[in-house]
Structures are given as C-alpha cells and as structure tokens.
A = this chain, B = another copy of it.
Amino acid sequence: MKALVIGAAGMVGRKLVKQLLAAGQVGGTAIESLMLADVIAPEAPEASIPIETAAVDLSDADVAAKLVADRPDLIFHLAAIVSGEAEADFEKGYRINLDGTRHLLEAIRLAGIAQPYRPRLVFTSSIAVFGEPLPPVIGDSHDHTPLTSYGTQKAICELLLADYSRRGFVDGVGIRLPTIAVRPGRPNKAASGFFSGIIREPLAGQEALLPVADTVRHWFASPRAAVGFLLHAAAMDTALLGNQRNLTMPGLAATVGEQIAALERVAGPNAVALIRRQPDATTANIVAGWPQAFEASRAKALGFVGETSFDDIIRIHIEDELGGRIG
C-alpha cells in the first residue's frame, strides 16, 4: 500500500513515521511507498522503500489534490494549528484546521468521482471538542460544546469525516487524543505544558515549575500510546464503527499529586524535590475548564489500548527519550 502522512514533521508525526518504517506493514499489508507532508519539509528517514517529502500548506486549495494524486491507500492527517495559535489568529485557525481538512476530504471525494477511490483516513481530533459543563467522567455520547476555536474546528472536522464516510467517499476514523505526556523537548508556552514539564525536567536534573494545585485531574497518554492509536485506527475493521466514525481514545486519569507520586516511585525523592510550586491563577483557571476523565468504552471495546498507570508513562519517556537512563 501507499501511505501519506500529513503533519509528518511534528512530534507525533515523526514517531509515527519511524514506527511505520519499523513495522513495514499496516494490518498485514506491506507499505510500498511513503509520502511525508508538512508546512516545513519533513526529514526523510533512511528506508528500504521510496519516501517522498513535500513542504506544503494544506490550506491552499490545490495542495490536497496533489497530495492524493498518487491515490494513497492510507492517509494520516495530523496537521493542525495548535490551540493557542488558533485562538490568537482566528482566520489562520479556520484556514488551516477547518479549510485544510475540508480541502483534503474534497480532494479525496473528487478523485473518487474520476475513478473509484476510498482510502482509509485517520484524523487526529482532540478532547478540546468537549467544553463546560462537563461531568467528572465523560461518556462516549457527551455533547461537543468546545470553548476554543481549535476545539470548534476539530469538532467540525469530526462531523465532516463522519458524513464523508457515511456517503462512501472516504473510510474515516477520527481519534480524540488525550493530552500527550511526557512530551519530549524543550518547555513550551502551552497551558498544558507543566503536565509534562514536572516529569521531564526533574528526570533531566532540572527544576520545573508547577502552577496548579496537586488536586488537578487530567487525562493522559504517552507519545508511544498515541502512535499505537494511529496504527490501530489505520488497520481496524471500520465496519464496526457504523456511522460513528469518531472515538475518544482511552487514557489515564491522574491528578498532579498522582503524577508526582509516580515520579517519586520511578525516579526517587531527589527528582520530586526539583518541582517548585508557583501557583498561577491564569493557568489554574484555564485548566479548571478541562476534561478530567473519560469512559472511552467504545474505543476500548474496539481494541485501542492506553496506559494504566502514570508510572508506565514515565518509564516510556525514559525508554524512548532518555535511552533508558535518568540524567
């Protein structure tokens, strides 16, 4: 099969490509070629199959048609303007996150008019589609009332993906990713950054700031689990989805206190001592509106697997990012 990854230069995109090349197949079918697209040219890893890369802006109406011209059998669409930027730049958020996805769906539909074509399309949505008021544990049939433009754009793309799939234009699976922890790399300005920072920085022997109370509860999956969700969505039997093409992924609900306790179990009290509490009302207010936990019953029943302890999430970071050693 031919596979296309849009958003291949991002953190999850790079890990996905690595995993696709390591496996060499999806659902038992060999990957023959790979097209990697992003706004900046993705690195082409060394591989035994042909890899093409493209630096493209999906919000250009013509780009999607070019990306699907080679009729990839499997498409991962991970590209998005992140939440903060979509909120700061209203037009850009809609242009990339909504119009970009719609261009892709339309390019696939129009390619199918010329000649039968119905690729598997795995789309990364987000728990940002959910907004207040939220129950402590959110069920699979809970309403989408996003509180950000980013969440609105993701919720709209989910609806489009489901309708295009129902009409037979594409074979779509939308997966709502939990907050990814531990994110590798440098601290960023995302309001959720501290969830990773209070683990990542102490493991590297550095101080981390904690802006919220230990009782704050949130919903997590490791980068490795995220890639696992994408690969499972690529290979699963979509007949089991019926017309409900979008799924809340399983995750792990943990409080900040539970994160810290896990850090102590995995890395000892010296690591925990590097966490400095510096309450920040702005961050606390933002985070107070976020989901705390999900049932994710449908996704679990369909074979998606997340983590069951924050200890595991920390160990995965140590294995995948720190070469198995704590600095």
Q: What residues make up the interface of A, taking CB atoms closer than 8 Å to B?
A: 90, 131-133, 140-147, 149, 152, 155-156, 159-160, 162-163, 166-167, 242-244
Residues of B within 8 A of A160 (CB): 152, 156
Q: Determine which of B142, B146, B244 lies in contact with A163 in the assembled complex, contact meaning CB atoms within 8 Å.
A: B146
Assess the A143–B146 pair: CB atoms within 8 A: no
In the complex, which of the residues A146, A159, A244 has the most CB atoms of chain B within 10 Å of its own CB atom? A159
Closest to A152 in B: B163
Contact residues in B for A156 (Cβ distance below 8 Å): 156, 159-160
Query: Which residue of the partner chain, among B142, B144, B152, B243, contacts A131 with CB atoms under 8 Å?
Result: B243
Closest-CB distance, A156 to chain B (whole angstroms): 5
CB closest chain-B residue, reference A132: B243
In the assembled complex, the CB of A164 is this many whole angstroms from the nearest CB of chain B, namely 9
A152 partner, pick from B141, B146, B162, B244, beta carbons under 8 A: B162
11 extra interchain contacts, Cβ-Cβ under 8 A, other than A144-B159, A147-B243?
A90-B167, A132-B242, A132-B243, A141-B143, A142-B143, A143-B143, A144-B144, A152-B163, A155-B159, A156-B160, A159-B159
Chain B residues positioned under 8 Å from A146 (CB to CB) = 159, 162-163
- Closest B residue by C-beta to A90: B167
Return the 7 tightest CB-CB contacts between A and B, nearest first.
Answer: A152-B163, A141-B143, A156-B156, A152-B159, A145-B244, A155-B159, A156-B159
DSSP majority for the A interface?
loop
How many Å from the CB of A256 to the closest CB on chain B?
A: 26
Q: Which residue of B has the minimal Cβ distance to A135?
A: B141
How many copies of the shown chain assemble into the complex? 2
Partner among B141, B159, B244 whose Cβ is within 8 Å of the Cβ of A142: B141
Smallest CB separation, A150 vs chain B (Å)? 10
**Given known contacts A132-B243, A155-B159, A160-B156, A167 and B147 CB-to-CB distance under 8 angstroms:** no
A143 and B145: CB pair below 8 A?
no
Contact B166 A147 (CB under 8 A): yes
Q: Which residue of B lies closest to A242 (CB)?
A: B132
Identify the closest chain B residue to A155 (Cβ): B159
How far, in whole Å, are A120 and B106 apart by their CA atoms in the complex? Answer: 33
Nearest Cβ on chain B to A298's Cβ, whole angstroms = 11
The contact sample of 29 A-B pairs, CB cut-off 8 A, is A90-B167, A131-B243, A132-B242, A132-B243, A133-B141, A140-B143, A141-B142, A141-B143, A142-B143, A143-B143, A143-B144, A144-B144, A144-B159, A145-B162, A145-B243, A145-B244, A146-B159, A146-B163, A147-B166, A147-B243, A149-B163, A152-B159, A152-B160, A152-B162, A152-B163, A155-B159, A156-B159, A156-B160, A159-B159
In the assembled complex, the Cα of A152 lies from the Cα of B244 at a distance in Å of: 12
Q: How close is A149's CB to chain B, nearest CB, in angstroms?
A: 6
Chain B minimum-CB-distance residue to A161:
B152
Chain B residues with CB below 8 A from A147, complex form: 166, 243
CB neighbours (8 Å) of A141 from chain B are: 133, 142-143
Residues of B within 8 A of A152 (CB): 159-160, 162-163
Docked CA distance A267–B152 (Å): 49
Residue on B with the closest CB to A157? B156
Find chain B residues with CB under 8 A from A133 CB.
Answer: 141
